[in-house]
Every structure is written in C-alpha cells, then in structure tokens.
Structure 1
Amino acid sequence: MIQLNEKLDQITGYINEMTSEHTSTGLSVAIVKDDAIIYSKGFGLSRLQPDRRIDGDTLMSIQSISKNFAALSIMQLVEEGLISLDDPIVKHLSYFCTKDKEQSDLITIRHILSHTSGFPSDLGIANMIAPNVKEIFSDTPTEFQEALDEYKLTEEEINQIKTREDVTRWFKKVELAYPVGMGWDYCTDAYVILADLVEKVTGESWEDYLAKKILIPLNMNRTTADALAVQKDENSASYYLGDNQVETPFPINAISAPIGYLYSTANDLARYLRFHLNKDQKVLRADLVGEMQRPVHQVSEEWRFGSEVRSYGLAWFTDTYKGVKVVEHGGGQMAVRSLMTIVPGLGLGVVVLLNFDGSLHHEICDKVLDVFMGE
C-alpha cells in the first residue's frame, strides 16, 4: 500500500508539472482526510508586481462557493425553527413577486436554494451592480452598453439598487422560464434573496450573522466579505487573464456577496470541508448537513459535463467520479477559479483556488481523487 507521504508527493509532482507554464501566476491546494488537514501548499505567485508567493493562507476570491455559505446560513435558521425549507418566500419577504404573482407565491426557500424556482439563468442584475462594472466591461467603448442590452437592463436601473431588499424587489420584472419546481436553471442572482431573508428574519446583516454563526465557530479567521480589507492584506491575490497575464479588475460587489463575493483561503475552506465531511454538528445538525448534500434535481444539459447523474442539492452539485459519489461546488469569473469537493466514501476533501483562468482546478482535483483511489 502506498504510504500517505508518497501519495502527497505524487500530487505535488503532478501540480509542479502542470503549473510549469503558469510560473507567474498561482494556485493553492488543501486536502482533508477524515478529520485532519493533511496537505496545504501554494504554487506560483499571488501577485506579479511586486512578486509574492502564494500559500494556503493567501486570501482569494471564491466566487460561487459563496453560495454554500448563504445556504448554510439558511439551514441554521431551519434548525432554530425560525423558518422551514418549504416556506414560500413571501411568508418572510412580503414584497417578493415576479410577473406571475400566482406562480411566484409558490416559490419556496428550497426552490431558490436548489435553483428549481423557475427563474431563468441570464438575469444579470446581481453582477451588474458591481461598483467597478464599467471597468469590467471596458474592452471596447460599447461593451458596457452591450452587457446592459444583453441582460435587458438600464444604467439607471442598476444604479437604483442600494440594498439586498432592492434586488428582491427587482424580481417583479422577471418572467419565469418554467413552472415552479418543474425544472432546473442556475440562477445566481436569486441567492441575494436568501441573504435578504436571513437579514429580515434575524434583524442583523448577513455578514455579521455569517461571522458569528459560521466563520468564528469553524475557526475560519481569514474568510470575509470585506473586499477593501482583502485588497489591503499583504497576503492576498490579484487575478491574471490569458497567456499575456493581464491583470483583471478586482472582484468586488458587497450587495451580492452571497452569490460570489466572499474571500477565503485554501486552509479556511479545508476547515469548512472538514465540517461538511464529518457532519460534526459544530454549526449545524448532522441530518441538515446531509440534507444540503442530497440531490434535488438533475442539472440542465450545459451543466452536466457529460455526466448522466449530475444533480444539484442545496448549494452543492452531486455527481460520481469513477463510480464514487462526489459532492462539490466551484466558482469562476474572468481570472478567478475555485473548487471545493468532498468524497464521503473516501473521507476526503479537496480545495483548489486559482488566480488565472482555465480548468486546472478540476484537473488537480481529479488527480487527488485518483491518487487516493489508488489509480
């Protein structure tokens, strides 16, 4: 039997080989086995000017992995008996509606968590309210307007969004793409509604709730929604796009933090995976942790990546890899890539964070799984 150190050396050798062409950008990797973090390494640079090495504590954008934290917040309120997964959203947010009020009155918390609410995927509102959105869409003089046109938005409209409640109210213009609960479409914008719900039920900001109820208990001391603090932190990443490694605008969007604008580290996310893997009830009852990981609906074709069984639970994708069940969520925007994966049958968790574009985060995760499966 291959000893643990040999397995980890195999993984390091593979990553070194795969990153040889990315010597000026970087990635961080952490691995959990059972109840221990057994691997934490950085490869390459977190910033090019001045050069800084990346490591397991480098603060990085985690993009849509943020949704898992929003979902966990909701599940804690379920455990406290303050809400039920099958409560209609309007029970807690009376101002929520879509163009079809009769249908949208049927949309439950579970529907939004599992992307089965009927919302189309291309709404755009949550990302277009980023304070640096014009910098993001600046490759040509007309790119910003083209983005507005693509999403059927106006500049005046996005400038009117000041709070999460405003985003929830904005949904009154949305036309459902399918009957509630009868399909699946990944609607990133809808997770802002969940944070609005947390705030209305608890009477505190989602960020304060997150820190108090999740981050502090799990010792995730370098996970935050504070983009300015991250940018000032000496051990934080910048992001570089394409072969020319062009630095991209920093991912910042406070209102939309629950959809993709949290910042974390490989080591902090390893602590987070350790909790989900072991269901240790530190911040949520074991049965509710399991409920998050249970498939609700098979994903649409463009999200299957060739899989016949890929599904979505409550902020987790579920799938199989070489016959073994995997539970995962990733994220990406421009030059940000993130992935966290747990393999319950192996007692294994993997985190990969990149500050450049591509699919290397998936390739590295697959290699880790192969090594621990003995392949």
Structure 2
Amino acid sequence: MNQLIDKLEHITQYINQLLMKQEGVGLSVAIVKDSDIIYSRGFGYSQIQPVKQPMDGDTKMSIQSISKNFMALSIMQLVEKNLLSLDDKVVEYLPYFRTRDKQQSDTITIRQLLSHTAGFPSDLGIGNMTAPNVREIFSDTPTEFQEALDHYNLTEEEIDGVKTREDVTRWFQKVELEYPPGKGWNYCTDAYVILADLFEKVTGVGWETHLEDEILSPLHMNRTTSDPTNVEEDPNSARYYLGEEKTETPFPKNALSAPIGYLYSTANDLGRYLAFHLTKESAVLRSDLIEEMQQPVHLVSEEWRFGSEVRSYGLAWFTDRYKSLRVIEHGGGQMAVRSLMTMVPELDLGIVVLLNFDGNIHHDVCDKIIDTFLDS
C-alpha cells in the first residue's frame, strides 16, 4: 500500500510541476487499476472568469473525439442484438447514402465507417461547421468564417440547410472517395454522423436516448451528457482557454454532430468507462464484441503515427505499443480542448487526462503514469 501511495504522490508532484507553467487553467486525471479508480484529482482551474473555480475529478468537460467511442459501442450493441452486422453495406439501411461514385459507395460497410477505412477524405468539415455557434468560432477577422467555408468547399446555404443527421448523410453525395473502400485509412470525423443516422433508422430511437438508457446509466456515468445547456449551467464545468493570453474560446457545442465530438464527461466517469472496457464485463456489451472493438483494422496514415511503426485503428480505438506494452486509446481536441483515455491491458491500467487548454501535456501525463506503474 505504501508503494502505491508513493507512486501516486510522485504523479501528483509531476503534474503540479507541469502545470506551474500553465497558470490559470486546469487538468483533471483519473487512474484505473484492476477495475477500481485509485486516483482522481483536479489541478488548477476549470474556470477563471468571473471567479476562479477549482478543477476536480467530477468537473464536466468536453471530450471531443472520445465521443466516437460511445457511438461505436452503440453500434456494437446492435450487432449483439442481431439487428445488423459490421460487414453489412451502409446502403442496406440508408438507401439514400451515396458519394459521387455511387458504384463505389454502395460497397461501403458499417465496419469501414467505424474504422475510417471507407475511402472518405479526412477533412470534410460538414460535421463541425454545422455547430450553432460556428460564426462565433470563426470571428477573429471579418473574413475568417468565409475562409473556413472556402477551406472546406462549403457554402452558407449548405450548412444552413443541414437540420438533421439524414441531411448530413445525403450531403455525402458530393464527396469524391480518395481510395477504394477498405484499401486505405483517413480519419474522417464526419462519418460518425452517418453512423448515428444509421443507428436511428435501424432502431427508431434517438441515439442520445439510447446512450443514456443503455450505456451511461448501467455504467453509473451520471455526469456524462450530450446536452450542452446542462453542462454550461453546471457550476462544476469547464471553460476553455487558448494560448498564453488564456483567451476564452466559444463553448464547444453541436447537438446534431454529438457522436463525432460533442459529448461531455468527467475524469471519474471516463474512468468507469475504461474499467468496463478493461474488464470486459458484459453488462453493457458481450465480452467478445468489446474485444473486437479493440482489435486493429488498419495502420493509420503517416501524420497520425507520431513516430510509431505499428499505430493502427480499430473500431473507435487507436492501438499502439509503448515500451513493448500494448496500448489502446482515443483522444480528442479542438481549439482549447484536449482529452485522452488510454488502456494498458498488461498492467490492468486505465488513464484519463482532460485539459481546458491547448498543448500536449495530456500525452506527457499519460506517459508518466504508465512509466510509474511499469517501474514496479
């Protein structure tokens, strides 16, 4: 027990030293060992205006692309119920889905959407540009919003016309595939809106309702939500600060595109989520299907490898090696949001790091925690 206390104190000291250079912002951490949360700490502040609010393990924060994992888990629950198969064609459930080359897109499978191997370009923009506060996000200069539209080859009429997830799916008819489905890898965040559309057409249930009833409640993730108003009004919730000046950024919200990156959670709730994936307890999903999510489907493209030769993507999980250990993880980021959840199965270890500022400290903290538990 004393050895564990020493390890955790060492981690605390390390984080405190890192955060000394980031005055005014915060970081939330949870560590899972053998299915239990053994460490939960907040550092710094969740909000600095109008008064400073301390960060803790229950601070509600944007988790950005970690949200995709919850969408993938929902699809796997449909697989378990025999409502669909991962290798079914998307058009079997969404007959209006197509890209510019219909013959090619008719072959795209659900597995390929989940694993980013469908052939889509990586930077489509339609999911994020439908945010209700998108004009505020791109308001630093009078022309920034138009520049963003031009970058994504979008028009105001296009994004204003997207009201439903089906609208996003139908929008894909303008997309030119970059490679034949299944023959490459591009991280296309927008594909996860199509998955939500598919989920809702198969079940007749809104994805957010299913998420609450079939995932969050059974896992006791009581402070995880898709509702931005709920989070903004919660006194223990984060705001986000960019750069050395700690400029507060527009609040990240986009209910339509919630599955791609607009869920909110806490370090403690994500710790409970990692415990479920580590132990493969079958209360929410059969253990073999949990394992299938964690298996690599395709090597990721060069810019996503971070120097690794083996970094791959499964079903909403990146897989990699760290000092010979298998690592399974997913992160997220946008402007001043950073999130990371990591599992090291050989150590029965799970790590959550959430930031409300930009940079790469979340990876440094995660590596330090793995090193600390590896050195035993």
Quick one: which amino acid aligns to residue 79 of structure 1? E
Provide the rounded CA distance (Å) in 1 between the counterparts of 2:13 and 2:375.
16
Provide the rounded CA distance (Å) in 2 between the counterparts of 1:293 and 1:35.
17
Indicate the residue corresponding to 1:211 in structure 2: 212
| Residue 2 of structure 1, CA deviation | 7.2
Indicate the residue corresponding to 2:9 in structure 1: 9
Quick one: which amino acid aligns to residue 61 of structure 1? S
Provide the rounded CA distance (Å) in 2 between the counterparts of 1:32 and 1:115.
28
Indicate the residue corresponding to 2:48 in structure 1: 48
Indicate the residue corresponding to 1:286 in structure 2: 287
Indicate the residue corresponding to 2:315 in structure 1: 314
Deviations 1:213-241 (A, max 9, x none): 10000000000000011100000000000
Quick one: which amino acid aligns to residue 87 of structure 1? D
Structure-to-structure mapping, 1:119-158, within 5 angstroms: 119-158=120-159
| Residue 196 of structure 1, CA deviation | 0.7
Structure-to-structure mapping, 1:268-279, within 5 angstroms: 268-279=269-280
Provide the rounded CA distance (Å) in 1 between the counterparts of 2:198 and 2:136.
31
Equivalenced residue count is 375
| Residue 21 of structure 1, CA deviation | 1.4
Indicate the residue corresponding to 1:112 in structure 2: 113
| Residue 119 of structure 1, CA deviation | 0.3
Structure-to-structure mapping, 1:1-375, within 5 angstroms: 3-49=3-49, 50-374=51-375
Deviations 1:321-365 (A, max 9, x none): 011000000000000000000000000000000000000000000
SS across alignment from 1:22: coil
| Residue 3 of structure 1, CA deviation | 1.0
Provide the rounded CA distance (Å) in 2 between the counterparts of 1:348 and 1:373.
10
Provide the rounded CA distance (Å) in 2 between the counterparts of 1:352 and 1:282.
25
Quick one: which amino acid aligns to residue 359 of structure 2? G
Quick one: which amino acid aligns to residue 31 of structure 1? I
What TM-score do you get using the length of structure 1 for normalisation?
Answer: 0.99
SS across alignment from 1:166: helix
| Residue 23 of structure 1, CA deviation | 2.6
Deviations 1:32-70 (A, max 9, x none): 001110000000000001210000000000000000000
SS across alignment from 2:91: helix
SS across alignment from 1:281: coil
| Residue 114 of structure 1, CA deviation | 0.3
Structure 2 runs not aligned, ≥5 long: none
RMSD: 0.9
SS across alignment from 1:366: helix
Deviations 1:59-85 (A, max 9, x none): 000000000000000000000000000
Provide the rounded CA distance (Å) in 1 between the counterparts of 2:94 and 2:215.
24
Q: Percent identity?
A: 71
| Residue 204 of structure 1, CA deviation | 1.1
4+ residue runs of structure 1 moved beyond 3 angstroms?
none
Structure 1 runs not aligned, ≥5 long: none
What TM-score do you get using the length of structure 2 for normalisation?
Answer: 0.99
Provide the rounded CA distance (Å) in 2 between the counterparts of 1:307 and 1:164.
35
